[in-house]
Structure 1
Amino acid sequence: MSDHPLTPTALITGASSGIGAVYAERLAARGHDLLLVARDRQRLEALASDLQARHGINVEVLPADLGLPVDLARVEQRLGRDGSIGVLVNNAGIALHGTLVETTPEQVDALVALNIVAVTRLASAAAAQFSATGRGTIINIASVVALAPEMFNAVYSASKAYVLSLTQTLQGELRDKGIEVQAVLPGVTRTEIFERSGLDVNQIDPQMVMEVGEMVDAALSGLDQNEQVTIPSLSDAADWQAYIKARDALGPNLSRSSPAARYK
């Protein structure tokens, strides 16, 4: 991202607090103008005013609830037609507390609309717009529960597995288009998402909880190192490579004309 001759505008979803707000701060410090998207206009405007004053960049706010089709379409259209936007931080998301059988259909629909539908639609709009200009960066915020779904509940874990899979597919589709695509897989991060879902992060072992500033700094460092998947708490990158190698070893046997001998 830092290699681009011009510093593009960054569109950040879920920008009013937590991970999104820290991305806004860090990208502003790198000289990016910002387009901040979230539901809370008051918080967005306060953040915009602060970042403009401290970093001398332009910040526009676009209040929107990405779980609503009309608001999602508005942000999608802006992303698709605004050639100044060259970075998408696909961060907006919600979590649920409790098991699948304890979750209402309305809660499931709301999570899928934000964590899956909105992420996909905005990634698609960014991919099309960035392909036309031959440059761009898409950052999709997933979670380590994409790799260890037993750590959390079914719907949230599945949504983050989808985000990881979407990102990895996009990496292949956009490989020759001049576009960087990164999946970020945070572990437990101290943000408001826990409070909003009915969980208390203070009840979690402190050794498992990362401060949000450290998480975003690690994610951006991974982006600078051209990582396609960044797990901020993973100390040895060879562990991820071993995971990919093990997955690839399954490849020749994933689809054949007859069942394996052990099933006969």
Structure 2
Amino acid sequence: MNDKTSKGAALITGASSGIGAVYADRLAKRGYDLILAARDEVRLNALTARLRAETGVTVDVIKADLTVRDDVRRLEARLRDDASVALLINNAGAALFEPFAVAAADGLDDLIQLNVTAVTRLANAAAAGFTQRGRGKIVNIGSIVGLMPQFKSTVYGATKAYVLYLSESLNDELAGSGVTVQAVLPGATRTEIWDRSGRGIENVPEEILMHVDELVDAALAGLDQGELVTIPSLPDAADWDAVAAARANLQPNLSRPHPAARYGVRVSEPA
């Protein structure tokens, strides 16, 4: 049971299974009321019944398909207008691992709608509502695939790279507003995403698969510690700090008045 200390409500997308369902369990036990959104209403209702019985929190269920614009708008309105909402877990997403050249364009469009457009719109609504209220947390679930083009998951990886950029830039923009942002970058995690993507979890090496409970517990620990980017599998956080420092070192040289000397371009005289 939670201590019933009021922490407000957490809106969780993709809450019927996997990462979203574990977030629901953990946040209910921390004392958050819940707003659970997903397509599978049967699973949502079963999860809701269990969490109400075990924790006593208030749980609202919203059946929503985040590839449908009107469903996204319903959640946007809740984030903007419901003053009780203090946390967004922007978790709903899908994967696609087939080669880009043979992938169906409509399937790619649906993937971008879910992993990019819906994530963006919900983060935008949360930022609007939270900044007005002077408090709140936005958690965007990305993937380590967004860091590794060599994994050859062209569009899925690109959508997750977008989530990281969105989170880092939004964190800078919201500094001092009372709103914090976290990007969580899971590695291979034991969820249904593998079977839904067509790859099948049996084709993923056991030695790289993290249990979803451990993933969410680590992500929440990173949130508690104030991490902007949480990579649960990464043994040494200094490795990510080095990546961030290397990017910062590039900044002064990324936009200059003339091309680098190695290109042999003649310098133009000012007009």
Name the CA distance, whole Å, in 2 between partners of 1:129 and 1:152.
37
The letter of the residue matching 2:207 is Q
Provide Cα deviations, 1:146-171, integer angstroms capped at 9, x if missing partner.
11122241010000000000000100
Moved more, 49-58 or 198-207: 198-207
Name the CA distance, whole Å, in 2 between partners of 1:263 and 1:8.
57
Verify: 1:156 aligned to 2:187, yes or no: no
Name the CA distance, whole Å, in 1 between partners of 2:169 and 2:215.
24
Verify: 1:227 aligned to 2:215, yes or no: no
Q: CA contact under 8 A between 2:94 and 2:115: conserved in structure 1? A: yes
Provide Cα deviations, 1:162-184, integer angstroms capped at 9, x if missing partner.
00000001000111101110000
Identity of aligned residues (%): 55
* Residue number in structure 1 paired with 2:100: 100
Provide Cα deviations, 1:120-162, integer angstroms capped at 9, x if missing partner.
0000000000001100000000000111122241010000000
* Residue number in structure 2 paired with 1:61: 61
Name the CA distance, whole Å, in 1 between partners of 2:205 and 2:197.
18
The letter of the residue matching 1:154 is T
Name the CA distance, whole Å, in 2 between partners of 1:102 and 1:25.
39
Name the CA distance, whole Å, in 2 between partners of 1:141 and 1:34.
18
Q: CA contact under 8 A between 2:90 and 2:138: conserved in structure 1? A: yes
SS in 2 for 1:210: coil
Give, in angstroms, the shift of residue 6 of structure 1.
4.1
Q: Which residues of structure 2 form unaligned runs of 5+? A: 265-271
Provide Cα deviations, 1:90-121, integer angstroms capped at 9, x if missing partner.
00001113111111111011001000000000
Give, in angstroms, the shift of residue 29 of structure 1.
0.6
* Residue number in structure 2 paired with 1:33: 33
Name the CA distance, whole Å, in 2 between partners of 1:193 and 1:51.
23
Name the CA distance, whole Å, in 2 between partners of 1:129 and 1:246.
34
Give, in angstroms, the shift of residue 202 of structure 1.
2.0
Please give the TM-score of this superposition, normalised by the length of structure 2.
0.94
SS in 1 for 2:256: coil
SS in 1 for 2:16: coil
Verify: 1:140 aligned to 2:140, yes or no: yes
Name the CA distance, whole Å, in 2 between partners of 1:228 and 1:259.
34
* Residue number in structure 1 paired with 2:268: none
* Residue number in structure 2 paired with 1:258: 258
* Residue number in structure 1 paired with 2:269: none
Structure index of larger Rg = 2
SS in 2 for 1:124: helix
Aligned Cα root-mean-square deviation (Å): 0.9
What aligned pairs does 1:51-200 form with structure 2 within 5 A after superposition? 51-200=51-200
Name the CA distance, whole Å, in 1 between partners of 2:23 and 2:32.
11
Q: Which residues of structure 1 form unaligned runs of 5+? A: none
Name the CA distance, whole Å, in 2 between partners of 1:204 and 1:41.
29
Q: Are residues 152 and 13 of structure 1, via their aligned partners in 2, closer, same or farther at CA, if it must alter by over 3 Å?
A: farther
Please give the TM-score of this superposition, normalised by the length of structure 1.
0.97
Give, in angstroms, the shift of residue 254 of structure 1.
0.4
* Residue number in structure 1 paired with 2:211: 211
Name the CA distance, whole Å, in 2 between partners of 1:133 and 1:143.
30
Give, in angstroms, the shift of residue 78 of structure 1.
1.6
Name the CA distance, whole Å, in 2 between partners of 1:117 and 1:248.
28
Name the CA distance, whole Å, in 1 between partners of 2:220 and 2:57.
19
